[in-house]
Structure 1
């Protein structure tokens, strides 16, 4: 179809002077940029980072970090109770009134040292949770893997020996493993660091 065709409904109306066709440059007028490829986006400034790397910690990773600190708080409270239990057991072991109590003597057969060992393990697990949470801002993929392992072990330990007390630990640990294991968590821990 051309503009000169009298049957063209989009053509030049009859009786008016002809103008250059669509897409043909006119003589003496400045050119405007035409259609085609758009301009490329500006290059990132020096040290701007990669386009796919998150610049701020994702919400799931922040939540996992908070949950690690909550678990650490519970561990410290548990260590305090276990330490008080060890001190109480050591004091009551030599009580003459409890020498005849069979149930207490069965409980006292467990060494006070074993209770102190459990106390130290509880406290160490809490400190490990604090260190993991503190490293979330600057840590790499190793911190992510350590948090996944921490979450899985904590969930298993929360289920087996401490079914009722460990329920909160189990739920928090599963959420930590899920939030750290998601794609945005992987992107956060694998981001480039300069």
Structure 2
């Protein structure tokens, strides 16, 4: 693949900042981004940020509409590094696990799985009941990675932005993307053990 490409899905769970920050970081890393966001995600944008929908969409290189199941990201022949869904609602997670592709968001995720590419789900709801956990197990068996955005307090975060950045940086690690601001134990943390 000449150009590094990553699909970024954003569902309607709380935490749209994770998807927005991922798009910003991927731009810094010169990774071409292909965004598909649910209507609920755009509603969450209004609840949780001061950004407009146009500003949000402008963070991506290519934006797709949810009903556009004929989009390039709906085909396995369109080569990508995989897909990050940030945040990922339980509904979106469940549709992917069931193979239900009622929208471009879940269709693109299904394609990523069938092509044996990396699918990372930043599942953003809690607490989980047994059905959620079994769905996560099923997705893990299918090759997806469940990566809830949990704070890493060993990084000594000073702000919410620090917490978001670390979570997104660690999710991007799963695509072998090394963002310089991801804080690493044993490398750049004063309290982290070395050698």
| Higher Cα radius of gyration | 1
TM-score by length of 2: 0.23
**RCO higher in structure (CA 8 A, sep ≥6):** 1
* Greater per-residue helix proportion: 1
TM-score by length of 1: 0.23
* Greater per-residue strand proportion: 2
